[in-house]
Structure 1
């Protein structure tokens, strides 16, 4: 039996020979290996703490974790079903690897790593060392690569199959079925004959001298599995093209977003943001008719597509994956109503869709970002009629007194849905709002206040629709009230932007993040922005430890954990910083950007990007692995120093 010292020596040779990108070394041609442990996703199922995220890629509906070193399983943990309605571990590990001569041998972990687009682990026993890697080659399949430092037989088996999962053998695939219709298939190269062992399998691989390849596939139905399995043997015999495609895709992402003039720690933030967005990418399934990006794969109730979330994700991904950005927009417009409304959110089960409200109109911005990076006028032409219809809908069903200034509202008359429509669900500015029925419609209600952010967004949408019409040589035939928005909402006594009450036109003087929007959309005048600066730079109000909270920090109603009543939301912080930059305050904008980059807890380490953060602490609050925070961090990274 080999000594542990001998095993370590052989493992060192293996690390140099099996691949040039193990921890401590890297393939210079692939930048992903510059970003080791980009996210901490160590979790062994059945431990007592909560799992905070998975490795997933290519639009897949399955995810994996790295095993915890303290509760080691010698294989990647999972797959986990990432659907909102069937979130479950299909197995603790679908492929646990050991040496056949000592199948019960104890493996000691050496290292684990999450690179962008790849998982890595290595471990040793008295018999030798084994390295494993996992890459997604498609939305349905991940390729497991196994390499040992000795030519001893290897044995693979599953560990702790999930509740109600039944395991069978079909040719050289192990099929694990769940009553929901979801299936996991473990497919081995020709010559490997797995055998059934109760409700589990074993697969003996004789004296492998080369890398062992195993396909781990996840299918949502038998039909999908029947269509997907036949292509796997050829891929297993020649995995190089699939791995090359994975490598080129990730190198493409990073080469498009990374700058040559940023510190490594800030590059890491940008790469983490891209990794987060891609981990939240889901291919079409059920009622989701196009691929798109979910807000957070780590939080079950966020596994669907939301309107203004989708616009942000598309704007963020336009630079490095414009096709995904396009489909993310198409997915929401698949459910556009006849009157032009885009509904709040959609799911794999359409009966769960929410059509009680819409979301703030930012979609033309997203389309314009895609056009900026692609010059794709065909996509603009495809979307233009639908964009125009959605824009007109606001003035038709959300302008209570027909003065060209819109309000947030709902289709069912509830204030709850109207607040959702603003995207700022429990914002202080809506505390005293009431609902008003809009004349002539059964499905149109408005709050009794006109919102500055909504009308600033609409002004930007109008500007971009005019641009699109010019590109397409079409007349622009829609309302345009852009010129009146800034003056209408600017309070000259307080030198700040506020919502206004319908009944008397009075300002709702609760200084909050909605005031950043006129700066971002560039409808404010230079004089207005100059006048706002003292309040924006007040450390008791908005120039806080992490800058630009959702409400002035000295407001008596401020709540440090109050969702939209205090914490930092990075989209709003971005609007403020970019807004300052728009009006010539570049140095100040850069200083605030570095406060974000340097002070958010865990941002430069392995912690996930969160939905919101503590204003005075930078602590992580709601929803890890959050896509829109990631999108706006990418935008801050791209804007810095410009």
Structure 2
């Protein structure tokens, strides 16, 4: 199915509004997003600028987010914004844009905190609030209009007798963080850093704005409301990242305000389209039943969408960051990106393609792709010390399957070939066709990073060796690396066939078969029923059992007989079939340490997915589904409103490390 971009939805929705009156809650796609209330708990508010404990909502690649207030004193607005900056993400305000209502008839303000809260909820793609107070029904809704701007719509209905009001807005910023409130075109602005500003533009022309360094009040003209009459207002809250964006924002905000209704209709269509696609994706190959775990499926999609970031600074194409909730994860990583692209492709094809393009923007002349980079790469740097495991061929082909975009294949094909060959030119120390992980700076730690399994036990005794200038390998050929390279050869062959390069396709198929035979001969231990890394000097197997040993299962390297051995090891309750299955080190290993070992015991959902799909591919269908349900049911918070975590404790199911983690969400989505 070709996925329509959000821009197309906006155009379509505008036409629909012209033809008929669009009701916001009308279901056009068959799946009602209002069935999914508070899938994530976003009810909280920051007590300081650096409060990173709060879950929040963003969309369309914006770099700022909002939450639902928990404190009744903040009703009439939403918590935030939270602006995302590498190592400097901050909450600008407890609530920067709150309704201010003055009852002129009674000469006193309407205290929204005294009202009855009928709604204060998060639904996919929208925050909503309804308050009943003093014969008024106050409603607020917040969506995103584009990749820089949130759109807040407010309506106040008078259910009593005629009264005169002065409507307006108020807000404040956290003190002591250098934030400065300034007047702006029909609103206010907050200087964040350098050329970065939060702008707020109001639809109702105000009589005046009162500001000091940390708070403001915005007064509109007075207006009488009869019973049943409604006052409406909109505010555009933008986070701009450059001088050029700042200059354009006032005009853009006016355009958004003029199109408020059509933008809300487009948002409704787009999100219910996502939900419809999600339910259609569930088929015979699914590891999890969407009817049983539909809230988890929606939460996984939301996690990816909340981590969507648009092009900015050193990020030249849009992509999905690992976690907005961790200040150190506000960039793009290669391994993560390949996974994110595959998961999001059925929903946002252009985002998936751009996620891949973003990584290839950092491909050097030799063909290497950088490990990671950031919006503020001048400050944070670009990690050229290592790359990541070769999953880009898989990612490119799966995105093509979802989008059917052959032009995208043509664009990526030569770049993929160059990257694939780079491995053999720079990471095959003895030129025997089996590659090793390595680094560009000669450090073993960067070589371990290249595997993605940073401190895995299998690398404890590894030493670094120089191949050529600027190219180093560790002294062991890794089974997972070569299994990925085997798959990549087959994906290149598939792509070559689509593009009519039949001779190239045959060449890579032959290379894949030869590589598979090499792995069979040296890396599988029949007695153990498992695959291992190989030490270069003596061809000894590195007898550590971790997820690398089931990479041949997922990548279809193993024979049927070998697959039986691998699955037997996986299902062993003393090794990988723990309370929450698939630890990254066998529980029988003396170095098993989930509390402190990042890759020495915790369950990572990508590796669990690879194991279960591998089991499924070799006919172990019931075992794979049983393990998938055990995985989900034993993980703390996966089936509740808690955020999806980076990894989990295999003996307790406790969530570990970063919250709202994208590749965990990506692989959960793949399970559906």
Fold shared per TM-score above 0.5: yes
Corresponding residue SS for 1:93 = coil
Of the structure 1 ranges 48-57 and 581-590, higher mean CA displacement relative to structure 2 is found in 48-57
Instruction: Name 2:244's counterpart in structure 1.
Output: 223
Residue in structure 1 matching 2:219, options 204, 222, 238: 204
Q: What's the CA shift string for 1:56-88, capped at 9, x where partnerless?
A: 110001111111247645411111111214312
On the 8 A contact 1:213/1:236 being kept in 2, the answer is yes
Residue in structure 2 matching 1:182, options 188, 196, 199: 196
What's the offset of the Cα at 1:190? Answer: 4.9
Looking at structure 2, the residues matched to 566 and 71 of structure 1 have their Cα atoms a distance apart, in angstroms, of 44
Instruction: Name 2:320's counterpart in structure 1.
Output: 293
Instruction: Name 1:563's counterpart in structure 2.
Output: 598
Alignment of 1:149-548 (within 5 A): 149-150=157-158, 152-161=165-174, 163-199=177-213, 200-205=215-220, 206-207=222-223, 209-259=230-280, 262=289, 264-351=291-378, 352-438=381-467, 441-474=468-501, 475-476=503-504, 480=512, 481-487=514-520, 488-548=522-582
Structure 1 residues 222 and 127, CA gap change in structure 2 (3 angstroms): farther
Instruction: Name 1:13's counterpart in structure 2.
Output: none
Looking at structure 1, the residues matched to 655 and 204 of structure 2 have their Cα atoms a distance apart, in angstroms, of 48
Of the structure 1 ranges 271-280 and 144-153, higher mean CA displacement relative to structure 2 is found in 144-153
What's the offset of the Cα at 1:171? Answer: 3.6
Looking at structure 1, the residues matched to 320 and 267 of structure 2 have their Cα atoms a distance apart, in angstroms, of 19
What's the offset of the Cα at 1:267? Answer: 1.0
What's the offset of the Cα at 1:41? Answer: 2.2
Corresponding residue SS for 2:173 = strand
Looking at structure 2, the residues matched to 238 and 329 of structure 1 have their Cα atoms a distance apart, in angstroms, of 32
On the 8 A contact 2:550/2:566 being kept in 1, the answer is no
Of the structure 1 ranges 204-213 and 565-574, higher mean CA displacement relative to structure 2 is found in 204-213
What's the offset of the Cα at 1:185? Answer: 1.5
Alignment of 1:83-162 (within 5 A): 83-101=85-103, 102-103=108-109, 105=111, 107-108=113-114, 110=117, 111-126=119-134, 128-150=136-158, 152-161=165-174
Q: Which has the higher strand share?
A: 2
Structure 1 residues 157 and 596, CA gap change in structure 2 (3 angstroms): same
Instruction: Name 1:33's counterpart in structure 2.
Output: 34
Looking at structure 2, the residues matched to 553 and 594 of structure 1 have their Cα atoms a distance apart, in angstroms, of 20
What's the offset of the Cα at 1:407? Answer: 0.4
Looking at structure 1, the residues matched to 292 and 274 of structure 2 have their Cα atoms a distance apart, in angstroms, of 18
What's the offset of the Cα at 1:104? Answer: 7.2
On the 8 A contact 2:157/2:231 being kept in 1, the answer is no
Looking at structure 1, the residues matched to 264 and 30 of structure 2 have their Cα atoms a distance apart, in angstroms, of 14
Corresponding residue SS for 1:178 = strand
Looking at structure 1, the residues matched to 135 and 403 of structure 2 have their Cα atoms a distance apart, in angstroms, of 54
Q: What's the CA shift string for 1:406-453, capped at 9, x where partnerless?
A: 000000110110010000001011111111111xx2111101111000
Question: Structure 2 length as normaliser, TM-score?
Answer: 0.87
On the 8 A contact 1:168/1:176 being kept in 2, the answer is yes
Looking at structure 2, the residues matched to 485 and 300 of structure 1 have their Cα atoms a distance apart, in angstroms, of 43
Structure 1 residues 418 and 193, CA gap change in structure 2 (3 angstroms): farther
Looking at structure 1, the residues matched to 110 and 92 of structure 2 have their Cα atoms a distance apart, in angstroms, of 23
Corresponding residue SS for 1:92 = coil
In the alignment, structure 1 segments of 5+ residues that lack a partner are 1-17, 638-642
What's the offset of the Cα at 1:265? Answer: 4.8
Structure 1 residues 235 and 349, CA gap change in structure 2 (3 angstroms): closer
Looking at structure 1, the residues matched to 637 and 138 of structure 2 have their Cα atoms a distance apart, in angstroms, of 31
Structure 1 residues 142 and 432, CA gap change in structure 2 (3 angstroms): same
What's the offset of the Cα at 1:27? Answer: 9.1
On the 8 A contact 1:53/1:297 being kept in 2, the answer is no
Looking at structure 2, the residues matched to 28 and 497 of structure 1 have their Cα atoms a distance apart, in angstroms, of 47
Looking at structure 1, the residues matched to 497 and 610 of structure 2 have their Cα atoms a distance apart, in angstroms, of 27
Q: What's the CA shift string for 1:357-403, capped at 9, x where partnerless?
A: 00000001111111111221111110011000000011110001110
Matched, 1:573 2:608: yes
Instruction: Name 1:42's counterpart in structure 2.
Output: 43
Q: What's the CA shift string for 1:289-332, capped at 9, x where partnerless?
A: 11111000110111100001000000111111111010001011
Looking at structure 1, the residues matched to 650 and 131 of structure 2 have their Cα atoms a distance apart, in angstroms, of 42
Looking at structure 2, the residues matched to 194 and 182 of structure 1 have their Cα atoms a distance apart, in angstroms, of 25
On the 8 A contact 1:452/1:499 being kept in 2, the answer is yes
On the 8 A contact 1:172/1:193 being kept in 2, the answer is no
On the 8 A contact 1:194/1:201 being kept in 2, the answer is no
Of the structure 1 ranges 52-61 and 147-156, higher mean CA displacement relative to structure 2 is found in 147-156
Instruction: Name 1:640's counterpart in structure 2.
Output: none
Alignment of 1:72-87 (within 5 A): 72-87=74-89
Residue in structure 2 matching 1:57, options 59, 62, 69: 59
